[in-house]
Amino acid sequence: MDLSSLTRNRDKVRANLVKLDDSSVVCREGCKVYIPQRYVNKGLANVGETCWSVGEFVMATDSGFYCATLVPAIMILTPTEVRQVKLDGNPYYELSFAPGSTVFETTWIPKTDSCIPPLFNELIINGNAPYGWSLFDLAKCFHLAPKYAGFKMGANPQVFETIINIISRDPEDLNKQYRNVPQALADVYKKPPTIVGLRNPAVTSTNTVAKLIGSYFQDGVVSALINPSDRVEGVEALLRS
């Protein structure tokens, strides 16, 4: 899938899906779902005789439209064909659905929060956002968690959005936060940020101590030497006392 040849349009993708009386969902025209292969290793998906995945992926129609789905719950899919493809250099499963075929077996989704911890680790801690997602998709990926998982991500949306702000970096200089880059809303799509893992202190930490005691020790040391702190932060003063 090459996004440059597709148009992002959530309404067009939704219009292609029809819910039947038995709660299954079929597609009017052919469509495809792209699931990161790493989801399988994280217990967030299964691709085999039975296909299911957490509903955080990209869906594209054969007519050239795509959008991100942001459902933090397990969904059962019934693809016509499954292929392994590379998107932006990373392995994905391409689930194809023929016109008129069933896409989702049912819209009755068990309400459980079991997928929230591994999903948070995958998307935020490790910084592995699915191909085709925008910064806004990442910021809203847990908005439906109270409805589908009975789980609220923080006291208010601003808490989670602050975390997204930390891991969103200027693609030309990872030491700078992305929030200072866009000059217009369209820039988020034309020049998207580079997403880094929250556990990587080399670029997310703002002081020397945090860089040295976090994960990726070697990267943290290099970052501390190249970008030394110009002030002592409160946490540093507390740890040094």
Query: Among 112, 132, 158, where does a domain finish?
Result: 112
Domain that holds residue 181: 118-240
Radius of gyration of the chain (CA): 20
Are residues 220 and 124 located together in one domain of the fold? Answer: yes
Are residues 103 and 135 located together in one domain of the fold? Answer: no
Are residues 108 and 125 located together in one domain of the fold? Answer: no
Half-sphere CA count of 107, side-chain side, radius 13 A: 10
Q: What pLDDT score does 221 carry?
A: 52
Q: What pLDDT score does 175 carry?
A: 80
Are residues 104 and 127 located together in one domain of the fold? Answer: no
Query: Among 112, 134, 158, where does a domain finish?
Result: 112
Dump the DSSP string for 3-35: GGGSEE-HHHHHHTEEE-TTS-EEESS-EEEEE
Are residues 126 and 229 located together in one domain of the fold? Answer: yes
AA identity, residue 29: E
Q: Where are the alpha helices (DSSP H) in the chain?
A: 10-15, 38-41, 116-120, 135-139, 145-148, 157-167, 187-190, 201-204, 208-213, 217-226, 234-240
Q: What pLDDT score does 48 carry?
A: 87
- Number of domains present in the structure of the chain: 2
Q: What pLDDT score does 9 carry?
A: 94
Are residues 63 and 82 located together in one domain of the fold? Answer: yes
In tens digits, the chain (241 residues) has pLDDT values of: 777 789 999 999 999 999 999 999 999 999 999 999 999 999 999 998 889 999 999 999 999 999 999 999 999 999 999 999 999 889 999 999 999 999 999 999 888 889 999 999 999 999 999 999 999 999 999 999 999 988 887 777 788 888 898 899 888 888 888 888 888 888 888 889 999 888 776 666 665 655 556 665 555 554 554 556 666 656 656 666 6
The dihedrals phi and psi of 153, each to the nearest 5 degrees, come to -85, 85
Are residues 214 and 178 located together in one domain of the fold? Answer: yes
Q: What pLDDT score does 140 carry?
A: 92
Are residues 171 and 88 located together in one domain of the fold? Answer: no
Are residues 169 and 229 located together in one domain of the fold? Answer: yes
Are residues 141 and 93 located together in one domain of the fold? Answer: no
Q: What pLDDT score does 85 carry?
A: 94
Are residues 139 and 231 located together in one domain of the fold? Answer: yes
AA identity, residue 227: N
Q: What pLDDT score does 241 carry?
A: 63
Query: Among 112, 127, 159, where does a domain finish?
Result: 112
For the entire predicted model, the pTM comes to 0.84
74: tokens are 């397990």
Are residues 193 and 161 located together in one domain of the fold? Answer: yes
Question: Using CA atoms, how far apart are residues 58 and 166, in angstroms rounded to an integer?
Answer: 24
Q: At a CB cut-off of 8 Å and minimum separation 6, what does 41 contact?
A: none
Strands 25-27 and 102-104: antiparallel
